[in-house]
Structure 1
Amino acid sequence: MGTLAVFSYIDARVSDRFDTTLLDRHTQLVVGLSVATEDPEALRNLMFDPAYGAPYSGRYWQVTSREGQIFTSPSLFGETIAEPRGSPDAPTIWNTLGPENEAVRSVYQKITYEDGTVWGISVAESRTQLVEERRATQRSLLPVFALVGLIGVAGSLLLTSVILRPLRKLRRDVAHRWERDEDLKPSDYPEEVSPLVRDLNQLLGRNRDIVSGSRRQAADLAHALKTPTAILRNELASLADASVSITTAQEALDRIDAQLARSLARMRAMNTAELTHSRTDLSNSINRLTRLFTLIAEREGKTLDVSCDQDLWVRMDTQDIEEVLGNLLDNAAKWCRNSVRLTAMQQEGNIEIRIEDDGPGIPEAARREALRSGGRLDTSVTGSGLGLAIAVDLLNAYGAKLDLGRSGALGGLECKVVIQSGNKGMPV
């Protein structure tokens, strides 16, 4: 819009200058005719502009007597210029037609001289000259406007970058604050951003409290349910001693425990994953689980082989990732014949964990059922059937995934877990 306004202003200035020049030529003709009223043909010698002598040059003059005699410049080549109606006494600028219907701009005025003669005096110039002058002016200014535009764009980008720099810093600091649990410092930001920083500190602190409270409530609920379930198990044990069949009741109680564990795990994981950027030393967690499950495997005459890279970190809460791996290892130890293998490594920016066994495995058509809530494929082995479902729920909360397949090395089930790596940004 600004460029159009400037061009409009320039066009108006060019038109004004064109009209001013045309009025000057009209004045010259008026003065020339004042000394040649008795011999208007002499005007051809008095008006010495070469353009007046070249036929159809685009510059013309014409005088008309009261009696209707017309005297013209040689450039009109015998043709005439139209005159405005009413023969006005004041200089009148108007657009009309010249020789061969050429569009011209003309100045006309009727003048009475001292000798009593009355003449209609016209000068005209082709409007093509006006159009060309406008275009020439615009062409000369276009590079200037282009340069000014580039400077304006560069200035806007620079200004935008300067304005957004504190906000980019704030974004980075917020991410680090999640991980380090440190308050942001309003003094590190411009005065305009400081109120936002203080509000973010309050919001982040409130979210931390929500996460901590939710996890604490889940833990309290789990602890409160342990006593009644323990009482029920003791009662079932007493009935079993009295030779009463408790198989159905035992399985129902196991499923209640598992469902409660799953619900509490989902609640805990959802709050943690959505409101924090938790990270866990996976290598340390695997070492701890290895010691526990090695004892369990040896007690049953089985082996657990573990291969884990050092310094592996994952973006999950410690309790959640250990519950996932614990469930998978428990399933593998329960179903394997002799061996279980766990492998953890860095793979294309993610952490890949494989848990394999030499058991019967799961047919491809039944793998989806195995991941479904309570989907037990074989009731001959004790359990609730919710171990894999709990693992899937916890992993989904963090954007991780669990795939089931057949182990190429051991021939049984292979559980592959892929989790976002938490190594980036870790202190050395």
Structure 2
Amino acid sequence: MTTSLQFRLGAGLFISLISVFILLWWMTGSTLRYLGEENLLEHMHHDSESILAALDNDTDKQLSLTIESIEPIYGRLYSGHYYQITDGIHTLKSNSLGTQSLIMPQIAPGQSHKFHQTGPRQQPLLILAQRHKNPNVTITVAEALSPTLAKIAVSQQRYSVVALFLLLLLIGIQILILRTGFKPLKRIRTQLQDLEQGRREQLDTDVPQEVAALVDEFNHLLKILQQRLQHSRNALGDLAHALKTPLTIIQQLAHEEALHQHPALSGALRQQTANMQQLLSRVLKRACLAGQGPVLAKFDSAREMPNLILAFKRIYQEKNLAIELYAPSSKILPIDREDMLELTGNLIDNACKWAGTHVKISMTADCPIIRLRVEDDGPGVAADALVLLPARGTRLDESISGHGLGLSIAQCIVEQHGGRLNFGRSSELGGFCVEAILMFHESR
């Protein structure tokens, strides 16, 4: 399953933003915790110095403190502020510890050590232990981390709210940037649709540098294709024109007196030259109908169909045919103009050839189907002979001039567009009826 490039880029940037904000959230929390502990340590260093200064030097070597010099908070039970003093023999604890004790690590004189411990009532404690030389005592001061952690949590919550707002803002800006960045590609897509509909002949070259080379190569390839198709069209018309003069000379030779003595040869020669003349007329008629329109133009039924009908009325003017047209008044069909002209021209030509006085043409286009129905009031075709009609060169009546190629050519065109030809008898006019069904798609 393929996804859009915009979605993939957007998803990648979104994941990147989320990752960055999670990392920043973790770094912010770690930094706040570090700063909080450093602030506590500074305060604990101060308290440790105060406790050291409040020590009394008793003559019996007992540890004692001048309580008035110690902050009152150390006297409240489980206040979250604790101290413990030892000289290796005696131990003195703050009243706030109650019956609890602090871990006293073994440290060298003049050294200090900080660590974490769970204290009274499962309080998380930050502990600072210092070994003094004179007097030779170890003072351990502890302070509960809960208030600091609570403040950090509040700060992180506020940061999370601000970060979430900034994240949503950045995502919105990212979406806007992506949409703006992909606008040139959407313009190219619109131009491709215009190109398909025959409303332009190439893509604009005013595009971002990243796709400029692609657009240039596409335009170059399109130009080569147009030139080749136009050259083929012109060459076909030129060949037909070039053969007209030699063919006229051959037709004149067929009426020479020298051939009167060979009536069979003269008749065959006249018949074959007449057939060649019809083939050339068909090619020239097709070139005339195609004109000099754009190679990749789409079929404009409102403009092309009246011109086709006028052309066939002139070709079959001796029959004085009434040709009715029922087609969308303003509909550009998303199908190649050349193919549609060839298909429509062959079907109308066949109908005019066999019609007595009346030809009816109906066209509808409802995505994804184009229906073209051509009916006449001629003799029609027997049911058992209908299956033979698509065969190339089939002629069911030799009295009507032609080569039987029109319907087979129409069959090929219809099959190229994923459709089919249906043959039958016209319920309205009583003659032959052919319905061409073609598949097409409209650009989104």
TM-score by length of 2: 0.65
Matched, 1:53 2:76: yes
Q: 1:277 aligns with which of 271, 293, 297?
A: 297
CA distance in 1 between counterparts of 2:98 and 2:76 reads: 9
Note the residue ranges of structure 2 that are not aligned, 5 or more in a row: 1-18, 57-62
- 2:345 paired residue number: 326
- 2:16 paired residue number: none
- 1:340 paired residue number: 359
CA distance in 1 between counterparts of 2:133 and 2:419 reads: 103
- 1:391 paired residue number: 410
CA distance in 1 between counterparts of 2:366 and 2:267 reads: 48
CA distance in 2 between counterparts of 1:85 and 1:104 reads: 19
Asked if structure 2 preserves the Cα contact closer than 8 Å seen for 1:340 and 1:355, the reply is yes
- 2:32 paired residue number: 14
Asked if structure 1 preserves the Cα contact closer than 8 Å seen for 2:374 and 2:434, the reply is yes
Asked if structure 1 preserves the Cα contact closer than 8 Å seen for 2:369 and 2:437, the reply is no
- 1:288 paired residue number: 310
Gap change, CA 1:242 and 1:133, over 3 Å in 2: farther
Same amino acid, percent of matched pairs: 17
Asked if structure 1 preserves the Cα contact closer than 8 Å seen for 2:127 and 2:140, the reply is no
Deviation for aligned residue 1:415: 1.0
SS at match of 2:83: strand
Number of paired residues? 402
Asked if structure 2 preserves the Cα contact closer than 8 Å seen for 1:376 and 1:384, the reply is yes
Asked if structure 2 preserves the Cα contact closer than 8 Å seen for 1:277 and 1:315, the reply is no
Q: 2:104 aligns with which of 83, 100, 114?
A: 83
Comparing 382-391 and 60-69, the one that deviates more: 382-391
CA distance in 2 between counterparts of 1:420 and 1:239 reads: 56
Deviation for aligned residue 1:10: 0.8
- 2:4 paired residue number: none
State the AA in 1 paired with 2:310.
R
Instruction: Give me the CA root mean square deviation.
Output: 5.5
SS at match of 2:24: helix
- Deviations for 1:11-55, whole angstroms, at most 9, x for unmatched residues? 2321222211321332233133224323656659823338x7353
Asked if structure 1 preserves the Cα contact closer than 8 Å seen for 2:50 and 2:69, the reply is no
Asked if structure 1 preserves the Cα contact closer than 8 Å seen for 2:104 and 2:140, the reply is no
Deviation for aligned residue 1:220: 3.9
State the AA in 2 paired with 1:108.
A
Q: 2:139 aligns with which of 100, 117, 120?
A: 120
Deviation for aligned residue 1:140: 0.9
State the AA in 2 paired with 1:82.
I
SS at match of 1:112: coil
**Structure 2 counterparts to residues 294-313 of structure 1, below 5 A:** 295=317, 304-308=323-327, 310=329, 313=332
Q: 2:51 aligns with which of 23, 33, 38?
A: 33
- 1:139 paired residue number: 157
- 1:64 paired residue number: 85
Deviation for aligned residue 1:118: 1.1
CA distance in 2 between counterparts of 1:11 and 1:165 reads: 41
CA distance in 2 between counterparts of 1:88 and 1:292 reads: 123
- Deviations for 1:366-419, whole angstroms, at most 9, x for unmatched residues? 76x755x6284957787655423422444566x585552655544653414558
Gap change, CA 1:28 and 1:333, over 3 Å in 2: same
Asked if structure 2 preserves the Cα contact closer than 8 Å seen for 1:92 and 1:109, the reply is yes
Gap change, CA 1:65 and 1:284, over 3 Å in 2: same
Deviation for aligned residue 1:121: 1.4
State the AA in 2 paired with 1:342.
I
CA distance in 1 between counterparts of 2:46 and 2:415 reads: 93
SS at match of 2:230: helix
Asked if structure 2 preserves the Cα contact closer than 8 Å seen for 1:297 and 1:303, the reply is no
Gap change, CA 1:391 and 1:72, over 3 Å in 2: farther
Deviation for aligned residue 1:161: 4.3
SS at match of 1:49: helix
- 2:129 paired residue number: 108
Gap change, CA 1:313 and 1:294, over 3 Å in 2: farther
Asked if structure 1 preserves the Cα contact closer than 8 Å seen for 2:360 and 2:375, the reply is yes
CA distance in 1 between counterparts of 2:207 and 2:357 reads: 65
CA distance in 2 between counterparts of 1:134 and 1:53 reads: 25
SS at match of 1:80: coil
Deviation for aligned residue 1:80: 2.1
SS at match of 1:29: helix
Gap change, CA 1:166 and 1:421, over 3 Å in 2: closer
State the AA in 2 paired with 1:94.
F
- 1:2 paired residue number: 20
State the AA in 1 paired with 2:73.
D
Gap change, CA 1:287 and 1:35, over 3 Å in 2: same
Gap change, CA 1:135 and 1:161, over 3 Å in 2: same
Q: 2:168 aligns with which of 133, 140, 150?
A: 150
Gap change, CA 1:5 and 1:421, over 3 Å in 2: closer
